[in-house]
Amino acid sequence: MSFEKEMYEVKEKWEESYFSEGDLRRIETVKAMMPKTVGSVLDVGCGNGILVNYLSNNHSHEFQRICGCDRSETSLQFVKTEKVKASIDQLPFSDKEFDLVTCLEVIEHLPQEVYIKALKELQRIASKYIIVSVPNDEDLLLNRVTCPKCITAFSPFYHMRNFTSSSLANLFEGSCKVVEVKAIEKVIGPRFPRLKQKISRWIHPELFPSSCICPMCGYNEFDKLKSTQRSPDSKINETVEITGLSKFWPHTYKEKWLVALFEKL
Ligand SMILES: [Zn+2]
């Protein structure tokens, strides 16, 4: 198993406490964007079932079928609806099997070859609609961490691509029409973040997040992961808090995520 794959089999990462209230609001937004005519939903890369469990617990009467699929066996243990273990580039479903296919916080993780196949699979399985959510214009260079053992720099979330609202809107160009793109969950952050990070790291050495594993050598600090662990984002921000720089550094606001609803042509 690759180190990257191993990261998604760490049980603590899938416990409910690992997700923030913002994540729950993101799920509520996704539900609110679902057209009323949708009777069946497949969530691809469902993780611990954050969406499908929410739908089944709160809106089960609106759907005939709610299904989640993920390649991580560990994450699927938390899924309480119909579930299937599968990889996004080869999904064991028929053409147009579901009215709506959702894919939330997944495609930014995919290497190019898998990414191309994944987009095709989402379009193949959806009969009417697709909903995709991604981080909003993420600064991948800023968010890199460095492995203390082999000095490889990598995204702690294994994010490989950046999306803006316009690049997301063009995701299924030619086969789907964009109904709506929403930027959600305004969060505070520093202005000139790369400069602030440089100064922070000069004052205080970089922390290696306990939630990730080096894709090159497998270095990790998983033993520090407790079920009370906060989200990976807040872990990274701790570097900033320790330096106390935040007290006087100018800040700005930005929406954390983009959610787009597509209708098949
Ligand atoms: Zn390493």
The CATH number of whichever domain residue 122 belongs to comes to: 3.40.50.150
29-44 mean pLDDT: 98
Categorize the per-residue pLDDT at 5 as very low, low, confident or very high, splitting at 50, 70 and 90. confident
Residue 220 Cα to ligand 1 middle (Å): 8
Residue 37 Cα to ligand 1 middle (Å): 48
Residue 5 Cα to ligand 1 middle (Å): 15
Q: Residue 242's pLDDT is what?
A: 47
Is residue 232's pLDDT more than 70?
no
pTM over 0.75? The answer is yes
Residue 240 Cα to ligand 1 middle (Å): 23
Domain tally for the chain?
A: 1
Domain that holds residue 73: 3-264
130-143 mean pLDDT: 96
Q: Residue 203's pLDDT is what?
A: 85
Please enumerate in sequence order all residues whose Cβ is within 8 A of that of 130, keeping only pairs 6 or more positions apart, or say none.
Answer: 100, 101, 102, 103, 122, 123, 172, 176, 261, 262, 264
Residue 215 Cα to ligand 1 middle (Å): 7
Element counts in the chain: helices (H) and strands (E) = 8, 9
Q: Residue 1's pLDDT is what?
A: 81
Residue 11 Cα to ligand 1 middle (Å): 22
